[in-house]
Amino acid sequence: MSEIKFEINGIGKLIKEHQFTVPNYQRSYKWETDKDNRHVETLLSDLSKAIDNNDSEYFLGTVVLSKKEGTYELEIVDGQQRITTIVIFLSAVRDYFRSKAKEQSANSIQNDYISNYDTRNEQNVGKLKLGNQDRTFFQKFIIDNKSEEPAVKESHHRIIKAKEVAKKKVTAISTLSEAQLHNWKDFIHDKLKVVSIIVPSESNAFTLFETLNDRGLILAQTDLLKNYLFSRAADYLDEVQVMWIEMTAKIEEELGEANVLTYIKHFWSSRYGLTREKNKELYKAISDAKKSATDVRDFVKELNDDTKLYLAIFNHNDKYWAEHTENSKKYIETLNYLEIEPYRPLALSILKRFTNKKEVELSLKLIVTWVVRNLITGSLGGGALENEYTELAKRVFKSELTTSSDFRSALKNIPSDQTFKDKLLTATVGKEKFARYYLRAIESQYRGGGTTPECIVDSDPNIVDLEHILPKKPKEGEWTNFSNEEVEEFKNRLGNLTVMSKKKNSDLKSESFEKKVEVYKTSDIQITKDIAEKYSEWSLENIIKRQEFLADIAVKTWNLKLNK
């Protein structure tokens, strides 16, 4: 640790004197410009105030750098977002001077802060090289100021937005005077201070990164985890870094980078019970449990290996399901349609531990039933339900539950048939996609639609539309047997809803019941056709009666039987 070097410099001077690279294991460019996270705007606003107030300096925090063996480059362990944003801003200043044909000023900024020129290969070599995900795009868009490179990742679009904010700020500064742009460049060079800590090895850098975070932003928990694991990896460091990169790349490509931490949470919860991200609970749990290099290596390996299972949970067309039953694919499709997250640790454990494909299918069927019954009854709050799922996931992972029968026996808080039916009798469904799903599944059961009637999930409202028998906004002079209060109370009752083709439904709109019945008669959907056959008028009593009919079928649709 005696070789650690501390310096306080302007960040512009630091950039001018060194060549930087961002290791591939680092996250991509993350700073936002949206209304909730205005990182770029905040930095430029703070700088503007400091410059306008003629402040002697502005402290931007600490950056942790590591000497890259065999090169003159410094790897950025902490500070990527700030250094990248400053380079983006300076590129906007360069562009302004070029647009005014002030090539000397533009070239001075280019050569000092943005790139060196490689005369042998006749190309600009960026003073900042980002990680693999952003490197080429950043080189083309920022270093070379060319726009032919397509933006294909979220981080690319964030770089574009950061440049737009920078250009807007440069334009605003230049309207005062071009001299003020030089003032900004000089302030960034000398007075925008950072403490740079240069360490001789990555392992020292990882340790420092855990404790030094003066950016004014809460350090992302994924970064804390990554750097903790790297700091403990010892001789396995290269292997752990490669596996971490593979894991994050797969999750980011399919689900987006925000889901990396969610995956780690679900992975951990499936083994150890519910562990949340708040208050760094997840980070603390993992860092307390995984201390040796071997533990870290094995943990990251499992995390990487199980990525394929997690991604399969999100996509019923994933190649993983080719070796499973068609019904399992349908259950996964249904669960994704319902947009429920807490069951995922349980599904992950089932896919991990249940080797028999039929057992997987039957267990997924139970999860669908559990999800739907809870959506209707609300019998467990979100937190309690999440805890219930993860406790069962832990038991499956520990092989305490090895079959779908074991799983069924362990379900203690799933609503019973009677509880489910009682709630269905008065159920209101405000979310139209849920209502379409419930009614189509009930229709399938009613018509004897095979072994998986609960898996009818066609989400396209252009094919099958939701029909309110009593309209949400009745036509003036029609539906006089319902008061305004009754319309509001009963319009979304399950008994007042049905499904039909989009074209037929669009023709009905808010017509009278008598006109609607004529269309219902021609429907191919039996629960819709039945309305015309069973009811001569539409009243509160008939809504309740029809809801009882639908509730009886629903109990059979989302049943708890295991038919092997």
- Alpha-carbon span 418 to 406, nearest angstrom: 23
- How many domains does the chain contain in total? 3
| Residue from 456, 265, 254 nearest 344 by CA | 265
Average pLDDT over every residue of 413-438: 93
> Tell me: the pLDDT tens digits for 242-275?
999 899 989 988 998 789 999 999 999 999 999 9
At position 91, the amino acid (one-letter code) is S
As given in the structure block, the two tokens for residue 63 are 């950056």
Residues 189, 45: one domain? yes
- Alpha-carbon span 157 to 38, nearest angstrom: 15
Rounded mean pLDDT of the chain? 88
Region of 195 on the Ramachandran plot (φ > 0 left; ψ -120 to 50 alpha; else beta) = beta
504 to 239, 282, 501, 509, 544: CA distances (angstroms): 60, 52, 6, 9, 25
Query: Does residue 562 sit within a domain?
Result: no
Could you say which of 391, 415, 439 is where a domain stops?
415
Residues 505, 385: one domain? no
CB 97 within 8 A of CB 111: no
Q: What percentage of the chain reaches a pLDDT higher than 70?
A: 90
Residues 357, 406: one domain? yes
In whole angstroms, what separates CA 470 from the centre of its chain?
38
Query: Does residue 564 sit within a domain?
Result: no
Query: Does residue 201 sit within a domain?
Result: yes
Residues 334, 410: one domain? yes
Q: What is the pLDDT, as a whole number, of residue 216?
A: 33
Sheet holding 128-129, edge to edge: 5-10, 192-199, 58-67, 74-78, 20-21, 128-129
More confident residue, 125 or 452: 125
Could you say which of 166, 191, 216 is where a domain stops?
216
Q: What is the pLDDT, as a whole number, of residue 288?
A: 93
Q: What is the pLDDT, as a whole number, of residue 504?
A: 59
Average pLDDT over every residue of 536-551: 96
- Alpha-carbon span 28 to 135, nearest angstrom: 10
Average pLDDT over every residue of 98-103: 94
Find the domain containing 363 and state its range.
223-415
Query: Does residue 65 sit within a domain?
Result: yes
Residue keyed to tokens 């949206």: 34
- Alpha-carbon span 367 to 461, nearest angstrom: 25
Average pLDDT over every residue of 491-519: 83
| Distance separating the N- and C-terminal Cα atoms of the chain | 64
**Residue 355: half-sphere exposure toward Cβ, Cα within 13 Å:** 1
Residues 76, 189: one domain? yes
- Alpha-carbon span 472 to 474, nearest angstrom: 6
> Tell me: the pLDDT tens digits for 207-239?
665 555 434 333 467 887 888 898 889 899 889
Residues 284, 390: one domain? yes
Residues 253, 309: one domain? yes
Residues 211, 238: one domain? no
Name the pTM for this structure.
0.73
More confident residue, 522 or 546: 546
Q: Is the pLDDT score of 510 beyond 90?
A: no
Query: Does residue 179 sit within a domain?
Result: yes
As given in the structure block, the two tokens for residue 518 are 């004529």
Q: Is the pLDDT score of 449 beyond 80?
A: no
- Alpha-carbon span 299 to 290, nearest angstrom: 8
pLDDT class of 1 with cuts at 50, 70, 90:
very low
- Alpha-carbon span 32 to 30, nearest angstrom: 6
Region of 216 on the Ramachandran plot (φ > 0 left; ψ -120 to 50 alpha; else beta) = left
- 3-state DSSP assignment of residue 343: coil
| Residue from 452, 553, 558, 456 nearest 495 by CA | 553
Query: Does residue 317 sit within a domain?
Result: yes
Contacts for 210 with CB less than 8 Å, ≥ 6 apart? 224, 227, 228, 231
Residues 519, 538: one domain? yes
Within 10 angstroms of residue 474's Cβ, the number of other Cβ atoms is: 18
> Tell me: the pLDDT tens digits for 24-43?
777 788 888 776 668 899 99
Residues 193, 57: one domain? yes
Question: 394-397 long-range contacts, Cβ below 8 Å, gap at least 24?
Answer: 394/269, 394/270, 394/271, 394/272, 394/273, 394/349, 396/346, 396/349, 396/350, 396/352, 396/353, 396/354, 397/270, 397/271, 397/349, 397/352, 397/353
pLDDT class of 202 with cuts at 50, 70, 90:
low
Q: Is the pLDDT score of 90 beyond 80?
A: yes
Q: Is the pLDDT score of 461 beyond 80?
A: no
17 to 111, 115, 308: CA distances (angstroms): 11, 12, 44
Query: Does residue 563 sit within a domain?
Result: no
Residues 204, 284: one domain? no
Q: What is the pLDDT, as a whole number, of residue 37?
A: 67
Could you say which of 216, 235, 261 is where a domain stops?
216
Residues 46, 160: one domain? yes
Average pLDDT over every residue of 127-144: 92
Please, what sign has the CA dihedral across residues 393, 397, 402, 404? positive
